[in-house]
Structure 1
Amino acid sequence: MTSNLLWPRGRALAGRPGIAIKLAALGIVTLLVALPLLKILAFTFSDEATGTWHEVLFSRLSYNLFWGPLQNTMLLGFATAAGCVIIGGFLAWLVAMTDIPFRRTIGLMATLPFMIPSFATALAWGSLFRNSRVGGHVGFIEGLGFAVPDWLAWGMAPTLIVLIAHYYSLAFTVIVAALATINSDLVEAAQLAGARRSRILAGIVLPVVLPAVVAAGSLTFASAVSNFAVPALLGLPVRMQTLATRLFGMIGIGQTARGYVLAILLILVSAVFLWLGNRMISGRRSYATVTGKGGRSKRFQLGASRYPLFAVAFVICFLTTIVPVVILFASSLAPSSSALFSDWNLHYWIGRSNAAIAQGQPGIWHNPGILSATAITVGLGVAVAITTTAVGLLVAFVLARYRDSIISAAINQLTLVPLLVPGIAFGAAYIALFGAGFGPVPALYGTFILLVIAATAYLLPFSVQTGRAVIQQVSGDLDESARMTGAGTLRRLAAITMPLAARGLASGALIVFVKIIRDLSLVVLLFTPAMPLLSVLAYRYASEGFPQFANAITVVVLVISIAATLFANRLQSKSQPWLKD
């Protein structure tokens, strides 16, 4: 009788499950993502910024402020997307659908360029091809006595080449996963019917993978237009501006209103093309390519072209993975970039101050600023990995367990917003919000706390997606049983979800760690001399004519990021069917 009396009340409470945690998650996501962006938008329409939109878009200065950088940005975006889709798609086709030898090697090497920070590849390019146009040291090629043309050393061409070399692995990862789902029976049936290879590719393979190709193009476009490091290192010395570099320059000289307008315009450019890509994907017909019938893997027989195509693929991967790392390491040991492989010494690593070398700056092992930056960078990576994983787990728990809710839908949309916002624009938004105190919140600019908060918000989509993936592997019955016994949400998360999903969460935390320690776009505006970071120091040393220090610091970042990435991949232990026979 007692249980019957209590049952309706229990049902009433169960009708509104998780309202507190849903509101908490919505509040956190709103504070981290929506508020900074609303603040930067509101500032551009305030009395302090009167006329700024007109100045940026329609005044005599507008070409230098916006339209010129926009042209360069669009050219880099479209050309990078096209190059990445062509190279990444070519490698994905070889690995997933042909009998090319050493597929595993090519597949592994094709994923490595994205582990290398883009500024590392740009520094390696400068060490090879830098000429005397902007003064200072020349690169290895000119040091050998060969004249390097300006178009190859600086400006649009080297910036585009480096961006493609960095981002094609992103396109490869997206396209190869799609190619791996194609039913081999379709290909085999077409071959038996006498269809030529080109006809099979155009009639079967391309329609199936076109959504992945569009997605790869959209992602690489958005990544290229928001990249700051490469155009800053290879374009700014010859006054080639993009929206990202112009935004950095405006805020750097105190013209924050113009900088914030450029940040909003950069967000719009990136978001529009990502939206168009998603529309193209969602508007296409879907194709069923996976059936319940098992079958042999049917690959295109390359015949006599197997080894020539392997050679082409290997050269592409070798030039974009091994060569940059070797160049960076050699430059950190050589007295100058013009003599990369002679007179090596360890001064830039362990040398004491010497007035005859690098204006008396000691090697990174004895340089207090670099040692401090190393500690702060690693500390930032650890702190952001912890905070992002914690917030991501909370948000992912809400999205996985309370799906049918308007609040959950709003949270889901807000967590995707940082994907549309370039890192440098996100940094500008956090300067707008926390550059000055408001209410009980003090000014946070130049503090470690601001770096952690901004990075947590910026990387939130990655932690949420990781959290959702691991939470969905934990049976909801366990959580429901614990809830019926009176366990609260935090108790259930700590006692059930986290222990069962620990490996996946750790893997996601490592990925976040890697992303923030090698990031430059987000932190370049938040950097202060009191809060140095390795990526920004590498950029500063390179800009000030100390490439050996810049490259040595970059090697340190590379070692940390690659080691953490490999460890994360080991934890994930994801199957890669395109690498299997």
Structure 2
Amino acid sequence: MSVHASRSGRRTIFAQGTVLKLSTLSILTLLIVLPLLYTVFYTLQPDAIKAWSDVLVGRLAPNLFYKPLTNTIMLGVGVGTLCVLLGGFLAWLVVMTNVPFRRTIGVLSTLPFMIPSFATALAWGSLFRNDRLGGQVGFLQGLGVEIPDIVSWGLLPTLIVLSLHYFSLAFTIIAAALATVNSDLIEAAQIAGAKGVKILLGIVLPVVTPALFAAASLCFAGAVSNFAAPALLGLPVRMQTLSTRLFGMIEIGQVERGYVIGFLLVLFSALFLWAGNRVVSGRRSYATITGKGGRAKRFDLKGARWPLFSVAALFLVAATIVPIIVLIASSFAPSSSALFSDWTAHYWVGQSTPDFAQGTPGIVHNPDIIKALLITTALGMSVAISGLLIGLLTAYTAARYRTGWVSAAITQISYLPLLVPGIAFGAAYIAYLGAPIGPFPALYGTFALLVIAGTAYLLPFSVQTGRAVLQQVSGELEESARLTGAGFFRRMLAITVPLAIRGMVAGALLIFVKIVRDLSLVVLLFTPTMPVMSVLAYRYASEGFTQFANAITVVILVLSIVVSLAANRLQAKSQPWLSN
């Protein structure tokens, strides 16, 4: 009887695992695989296939693809290089030296990634905009400083803004790698009389090389897929990247060409990330964690302690504090040329008056902005909940049932959105759900489309959160409940969720922040009936209403920082580079 019961139990578990894996795979296929395939199939239809030749070999190919591709590569390489240099320098200071105020430097180094990239771009324009295009000039031009075009517009300011946004990502990756460097190697070199520079170049640098490549790859991918900075600083002078060209094609109704450019952008990003992963995976000879050794003595900077601190502090203030101050000041100043004089609260609480801002009321009395704030908040909450639930289901299935091709497919598909730039993902969802499918109506312009696309796009982060939650719960507890006959949902509701609720809430908050501050994904899904804050800020900036754009961005910025800090506090994860 016991043998029969044991076999019956194993068959039940196997059946539950099969059903769970197939259900999870179906959900991921509907959310991720089909939108991407649908985009490709759309461009292969008889009346659309000509778009491929137009983009790749046609008379307009240089302007449609090759010039934007060149600008995109230059941006990606430049941003990846600068981010590794800046993030690596700060990570080395915080983790491996006795520089003063290491904790403060570490906190400020992680802050820029909480700030939307379009916020930094708007702040740059408020400071450095010149009179080339007419309209308001920036603060420095207002003081009488002549700003050259190369600083105000185009490739250089876009590269700088994106580097200021993504260097904190490189800092986090490199700092984590430096914190695991085997102290025995450094101690041995110090005993042998090796100097700091020789230790850094001969031991530390080779050990963290995989982290450097990983950081460069992610920063490169972020730069080539970014839409906000190239659109705000490049489009006014016709500097196109693949992301802005994709947006432009769909905006003017040439969707076939837009989908082709989107597919090529996805392919380009995926190939580069694959190459970076190949480089990292090929370097397997560096074991940095052993069972021996403690924290090595930090490099003594001696007389360079305060000069290096000053360099780091000046850079971090310029990258984090200055943009926030500029955005706040600009939301009160009548003109960007006079940021700190004649302030007015009209852009926040003013009523509509014909002789001021073309009759546009302030945020508090602007029904479009209030509606966008409510929709954005509801979108963030909806994506946070749906994303966390699907991410937890995916992570659970991949962790508990690892064997078979279905489990492998679930793992690979769940991280596929990381290879897809946000604007290309938004274009895929327009092709996928923008028209009726059988009995299902078109979802373009609906709240449901925003939630579904946002959930799918942020699924890799949801899965990572789900894995972190599962790690907090011992498998023995679940195994005991399974032996007593508890099903999947009973085990999740009675064991996993109560024990890991803090981690789940923290993960949901981070997903909330990511979708609220995102512009690339939602810029193509935006409609007047379904506005979101980030796109509304971009629209105001594009139409010359800089103060309104900056005021909206301040709201998004405050919301992002407050929720991010709350999530970090809930997670309560130790950061080794901040330890004493």
In the superposition, the TM-score normalised over structure 1's length comes to 0.98
Deviation at 1:4, TM superposition (A): 4.3
* Alignment partner, residue 246 of structure 1: 245
1:325 equivalent in structure 2: 324
Taking the aligned partners of 1:8 and 1:304, their CA distance within structure 2 comes to 72
Q: Does 1:480 align with 2:476?
A: no
Judge conservation of contact 1:21–1:489 (CA < 8 Å) in 2: no
Counterpart secondary structure, 1:424: helix
- Structure 1, 198-207 or 273-282: larger mean CA deviation: 198-207
Greater displacement, 15-24 / 524-533: 15-24
Deviations 1:109-157 (A, max 9, x none): 0000000000000000000011111111001001111111111000011
SS at match of 1:134: coil
Q: Which residue of 2 aligns with 1:260?
A: 259
Matches within 5 A, 1:476-555: 476-555=475-554
User: Residue 160 of structure 2 aligns with which residue?
Assistant: 161
Indicate the residue corresponding to 2:300 in structure 1: 301
Q: What is the identity, as a one-letter code, of the residue corresponding to 1:565?
A: S
User: Matches of 1:307 and 1:333 in 2, distance apart?
Assistant: 36
Offset of 1:440 from its aligned partner?
2.1
CA distance in 2, matches of 1:8, 1:580: 51
Spell out, residue by residue over 1:366-416, the C-alpha distance to the aligned partner (whole angstroms, 9 max, x if none).
000000000000010000000000111111110111112321110000001
Deviation string 1:419-467 (CA, Å, 9 cap, x unpaired) is 0000000000000001100112210000000000000000000010110
Q: CA deviation at 1:198?
A: 2.2
- Residue by residue over 1:265-310, the C-alpha shift from the partner in whole angstroms, topping out at 9 and shown as x without a partner, is 0001111110001000111133222222343441111111110000
Aligned partners of 1:451 and 1:526 also within 8 Å: yes
Alignment of structure 1 residues 422-433 onto 2, 5 Å? 422-433=421-432
- Offset of residue 8 of structure 1: 3.2
What secondary structure sits across from 2:208 in the alignment? helix
Report the more deviating stretch, 146-155 or 191-200. Answer: 191-200
- State how many pairs are aligned: 580
Unaligned runs of 5+ in 2: none
Match for residue 437 of structure 1?
Answer: 436
Distance in 2 (alpha carbons) for counterparts of 1:10 and 1:307: 67
Where do residues 30-109 of structure 1 align in structure 2 (5 Å cutoff)? 30-109=29-108
User: 1:355 aligned to 2:354?
Assistant: yes
Mapped contact 2:187–2:296 kept (Cα < 8 A): no
Percent identical across equivalent pairs? 66
Out of 54-63 and 493-502, give the one that drifted further: 493-502
Partner of 2:215: 216
Structure 1 residues 4, 152: CA separation in 2 closer, same or farther (over 3 Å shift)? closer
- Is contact 1:106-1:313 (8 Å) kept? yes
- Per-residue deviation, residues 509-557 of structure 1 (Å, max 9, x unmatched): 0000000000000000000000011000100000000000000000000
- Alpha-carbon distance in structure 1 between the residues aligned to 2:326 and 2:313: 18
Native 8 Å contact 1:333 1:346 kept in 2? yes
1:113 equivalent in structure 2: 112
Q: What letter is aligned with 1:502?
A: I
Q: Distance in 2 between matches of 1:346 and 1:498?
A: 46
User: How far apart, CA to CA, are the structure 1 residues paired with 2:352 and 2:4?
Assistant: 82
- 1:299-357 per-residue CA deviation (whole Å, 9 max, x = no partner) reads 11111111000000011110010000000000000011000000111000000111111
Provide the rounded CA distance (Å) in 2 between the counterparts of 1:391 and 1:285.
33
Q: 2:179 is matched by which residue type in structure 1?
A: A
1:17 deviates by 4.2
CA distance in 1, matches of 2:378, 2:369: 14
TM-score after normalising by structure 2: 0.99
Whether the aligned pair in 2 keeps the contact of 1:348 and 1:363 (CA below 8 Å) is yes
2:391 is aligned to: 392
1:194 and 2:214 aligned: no
Structure 1 unaligned residues grouped into runs of 5+: none
Q: What is the rounded CA distance, in whole Å, between the counterparts of 1:9 and 1:337 in structure 2? A: 74
- Alpha-carbon offset, residue 197 of structure 1: 2.1
Matched, 1:175 2:174: yes
> In the alignment, what sits opposite 2:130?
131
Q: Which moved more, 1:278-287 or 1:443-452?
A: 278-287
Cα distance in 2 between the residues matched to 1:67 and 1:11: 58
Distance in 2 (CA, whole Å) between partners of 1:527 and 1:386 is: 22
Secondary structure of residue in 1 paired with 2:353: coil
Shift of residue 16 of structure 1? 4.1
Q: Distance in 2 between matches of 1:17 and 1:553?
A: 48
Letter of the aligned partner of 1:75 in structure 2? M
CA distance in 2, matches of 1:195, 1:505: 47
Amino acid at match of 1:199: K
Contact 1:400 1:472 (8 Å CA) reproduced: no
Amino acid at match of 2:425: F
Check whether the contact 1:401–1:476 (CA below 8 A) recurs between aligned residues: no
C-alpha deviation, 1:217, in angstroms: 0.1
Superposed CA RMSD in Å reads: 1.0
- Between 188-197 and 240-249, the greater mean CA deviation after superposition: 188-197
Cα contact 1:399–1:468 (8 A) shared by 2: no
Letter of the 1:286 counterpart: S
Deviations 1:75-96 (A, max 9, x none): 0000000000000000000000
Contact 2:376 2:533 in 1 (8 A): yes
2:60 maps to a residue whose letter is L
**Alpha-carbon distance between aligned partners in 2 of 1:337 and 1:356, rounded to the nearest angstrom:** 19
Distance in 2 between the 1:117 and 1:540 partners? 15
Query: C-alpha distance in 2, partners of 1:473/1:171?
Result: 27
Is the partner of 1:49 in helix, strand or coil?
Answer: coil
The Cα of 1:15 is off from its aligned counterpart by 4.2
Partner of 1:207: 206
